[in-house]
Structure 1
């Protein structure tokens, strides 16, 4: 919410401005009016103002003096000057002070409302930036002072089976460590995972945000229930707490707990820019916690489309039984491949988005299906690039490492983002390949000239320009009208002619210098090209001179 101050020594004008706009619609909850600098300062000192609409010429201090005072003490407040003076020096001074806008009276209500809306948007962005910065600083302080707790260490030892999963060993560990649990107590595990981040963060920022999420889980949920503990696990966080309420109130307690976790998920989305999921297990004794945690982790790995949801183990099991025989469509690879070849980015992205949106609504969607799509997609990409004569390995290299592969198939949403990124690069590569056709031919010619005395195979030439052999020779012939092999022969024989004319080198040495180790073969090619042997060609040229 925002507060507005109108400053004008003419009371009628100030009152008119106040009534001219529906300020509430712009998110403004308070509108104050002042008729001079002294009154305006009093308003600021009583309650800071976000936006000030200010006249310039006023008694007891003009608008510039007032804004300079505001700038020094309330640097985040925005100012809109509204005046009768059109002189350049006034506008220049307003700009120097950093005002948002300089308006001349009279101003249309719609224009004023639009400018105030812009001020609201600007202040909102500044608030968000400051809020994130403050949150980082706050949670960094907490993180730096955090120390592992005895109870957390106990649960980690249970999960890692340092404490064997048997009732007698669990009871003995409780006794030795002085933990206030009864050996036969039941506990409900909740696995909390980040399914994806909606912004890009550095590793350090992500670490701080994960700590903030943990703190947010511990504060309202962990502390509300006695003996609750939050443990860091590989998939995310594990909240371990006693069951809520009596057995006969199970449905009510489940509904209440679901609501609490949904509020936590909403807070994660709003404040930490991530999609969280909560997987709730059945009540189990301490020695049964490892197996229950494993069951929740398996659900997390299999869940690729239910984002920001609270998922109870028994409900998920029933749904899995119902969807056991469900079949999923294959990717429309022929259509996507054709659109990729044409470089039709807009249509291709629309098709992929439509396909994934349709599948994401299917509750039966699972990790196995997504991994199959991943393989189909890579197969389509490699096949399409091969048909175009382009090498896809280098372009896809950073997308094929195990970590990136695991991330890409984490959810349908993330898979869609990954596909768009790969397709975007692929289309740029295809379009670039078309535009670079001529320059690639020149590079091939230069390579041939530089290595005229060496073996010049299609493979060597294609590797030099980063294309497949088939595509390299096709592109060369398309641009020059001559095959690569014919061009090599022509280039070698032309160089041989020059050397026969300009040097006294032995003809056998010339043959080697232009890449022919077999003298007889060189002579045959030379005679076919010139109707003369190399000896006759040299003799005729010398006679002509």
Structure 2
């Protein structure tokens, strides 16, 4: 805390600065000035809390200095010193909210008592200002504080009653632990899916989209009998949220919430191009809401349905479902005939029937996916296709992860599997296309260590199958084709360059110079040196 002493009498200034026990009073810095101009400069440069000033001074009075300080917005306590017991001065000092009107001569002990009272008032004022600032900050950042509270409460471990009350006080939240809240889960689904490996496979859910989503939610619940307190994200992919509704003393009924969410689904689909799914929980007290949300999440994840649907759960009960596999023989027959649409229709029909009989949950859907993928992988293996390589990519990984979220997403994944499988089978049925792909690969990578296994990874076929169709198409084995390709390139380098033979050996993929020489002679009846001399002699 700082004090400014202003008096044109230098003796008075020195007396006050040296005789008053400022340190004991809690004053850190004592500044001085001998006229209004100097005093104003001190105000501008330093933080002043207490002003002790003479009233009558040349070039302006202490009353004028205080009036200026009030006009500039400085919050200070003031003690006036004067030689005149003039009521006009006293009246003016009161109007300017000065703390004391003190008549000279100065008695230090009495002045110190006045200063101590002024300091106490400064502290009270500071506390009031701080409280106002805190209140203003809370009002400006109220939603952030509310969101932070709910995010911490829902996403972390459940707080005990005492911890919860402590957090409410800490965040200045007007909640009671017995207040009633209702959670609604919101799932966002990728709307546009591309099967191309190098293109975005999912509509990007960025902060801009999330902001628009929350704006729509706030607008929807604005005119209802309850308050949307917060929207809490539940995963890093920004696909799952929980909406916390406060009942405001009115019992939350489920029927009105269902059409509200149904209308919201259509709005979000139209305005934001996203599919959604809502799961309405049950109303419970604040102290129990953490458990209610966790149970709602479990129930929602275990309830498989189509996108753009609304569910409501009055309670959570774990149910065991018995899995009965689909007719795999018919599905395999559709595969053999290349009948994609019948395959997909049969899968969809199976899932819809399970849903209608209330026999579809996450575990059943997992088993179904496993059966379908095994059916496809087994069928492709019979065709000598390396299915685990064919479906090794970002698109497959993404769609496989999403497939357990809804019937729609499972059908998207199965459609992807069938499309890729049938397309690739068409490709390998044209053996010339496969062989041409292998030849193109050899032309580009002849200098590398090429094996049947490395080629198999390129065309997703078994090494034995590749060897058979290659020899059938080209009339020579794959190994011999690679040797011939390398020797032909070595011939050109021997004739057209002056590179040493061991360098040429490296360039065509043979690190072992002796082995290269042996293969070269077997193909041409000449060593590399002999071939170079012969070809150069023939050009003379």
Q: TM-score, normalised by structure 2?
A: 0.54
TM-superposed deviation, 1:448: 6.7
Q: Kindly indicate whether the alpha-carbon contact (under 8 Å) linking 1:196 and 1:275 is maintained by their aligned counterparts in 2.
A: yes
CA drift of 1:494 comes to: 11
1:469 equivalent in structure 2: 463
Q: Judging changes above 3 Å, is the alpha-carbon distance between structure 1 residues 371 and 457 closer, same or farther for their aligned structure 2 residues? A: same
**1:399 corresponding residue in structure 2:** 395
The match for 1:415 among 410, 416, 425 is 410
Distance 1:197 1:482, change over 3 A: closer
Gaps of 5+ in 1: 1-144, 246-252, 497-510, 527-531, 539-545
The CA deviation at 1:410 is 0.8
Equivalence map 1:453-464=2 (5 Å): 457-463=451-457
Does the aligned pair in 2 maintain the 1:277–1:309 contact within 8 Å? yes
CA gap 1:294/1:522 in 2 versus in 1, 3 angstroms: closer
Is the counterpart of residue 347 in structure 1 residue 342 in structure 2? yes
- 1:237 deviates by 2.6
Question: In 1, distance between residues paired with 2:446 and 2:175?
Answer: 83
Larger Rg over CA atoms: 2
Deviation at 1:294, TM superposition (A): 1.0
Compute the displacement of 1:332 (Å): 4.4
2:184 and 2:243 in contact (8 A); partners too: yes
Comparing both structures, which one devotes a greater share of its residues to helix? 1
Please state if 1:210 is matched with 2:220. Answer: no
Query: Match for residue 190 of structure 1?
Result: 183
- Residue 303 in 1 paired to residue 303 in 2? yes
Match of residue 171 from structure 1: 165
TM-align CA RMSD: 5.0
Whether 2:266 is the aligned partner of 1:270: answer yes
| 1:313 alignment partner, SS class | coil
User: How many residues of Structure 1 are paired with residues of Structure 2 in the alignment?
Assistant: 367
1:496-531 residue CA offsets vs partner (Å, 9 max, x unmatched): 9xxxxxxxxxxxxxx999999689x989x99xxxxx
Find out whether 1:259 has 2:255 as its counterpart.
yes
Aligned partner (choices 357, 360, 365) of residue 360 of structure 2: 365
Q: Is the 8 A contact 1:388 1:471 kept in 2?
A: no
User: What is the distance in 1 between the residues matched to 2:149 and 2:483?
Assistant: 78
Judging changes above 3 Å, is the alpha-carbon distance between structure 1 residues 266 and 443 closer, same or farther for their aligned structure 2 residues?
A: closer
Q: Match of 2:288, SS?
A: helix
Q: Report the TM-score, using the length of structure 1 for normalisation.
A: 0.53
Picking from 223, 237, 251, the partner of 1:220 is: 223
Question: What is the CA-CA distance between 1:469 and the residue it aligns to?
Answer: 1.0
Distance 1:166 1:471, change over 3 A: same
* Equivalent residue, structure 1, for 2:294: 294
| Residue 369 of structure 1: how far off its partner (Å) | 2.0
Distance 1:206 1:472, change over 3 A: farther
Structure 1 Cα separation of the partners of residues 279 and 444 of structure 2: 64
Tell me the SS of whatever aligns to 1:220.
coil
Matches of 1:165 and 1:371, distance apart in 2: 34
CA contact (8 A) 1:265 1:275 kept: no
Measure, in 1, the Cα distance between the counterparts of 2:256 and 2:171. 31
Say which SS state the counterpart of residue 305 (structure 2) adopts.
coil
Cα distance, 1:301 vs structure 2: 1.6
Q: Any conservation in 2 of the 1:189–1:281 contact (CA below 8 Å)?
A: yes
Q: Report the CA distance shift for 1:187/1:438 in structure 2 as closer, same or farther (over 3 A).
A: same
